[in-house]
């Protein structure tokens, strides 16, 4: 590893545990799911309240 050559990481005793990789993938999946849910809530609220992404719609009826 310190010879600037390609080496077999297993033979060099550099092993990244499976649990760390699995946790990273799980966390990334949870974050992506939360972002999509928040996006759905914002879109639903915008439709219900007559809003668009530039702000509330103007209501001229009284």
pLDDT tens across 15-45, in order?
778 888 899 999 999 999 999 999 888 888 8
Q: Looking at residues 34-62, what average pLDDT do you find?
A: 71
**In three state form, how does the secondary structure of the chain look?**
CCCCCCCCCCCCCCCCCHHHHHHHHHHHHHHHHHHHHHHHHHHHHHHHCCEECCEECCCCCC
- Cβ(49)–Cβ(56) below 8 Å: yes
């Amino acid at each position: 590893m310190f010879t600037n050559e390609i080496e077999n990481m297993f033979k060099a005793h550099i092993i990244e545990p499976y649990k760390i990789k699995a946790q990273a993938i799980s966390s990334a999946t949870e974050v992506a799911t939360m972002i999509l849910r928040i996006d759905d809530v914002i879109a639903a609220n915008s439709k219900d309240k007559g809003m668009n992404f530039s702000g509330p719609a103007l209501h001229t009826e009284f």
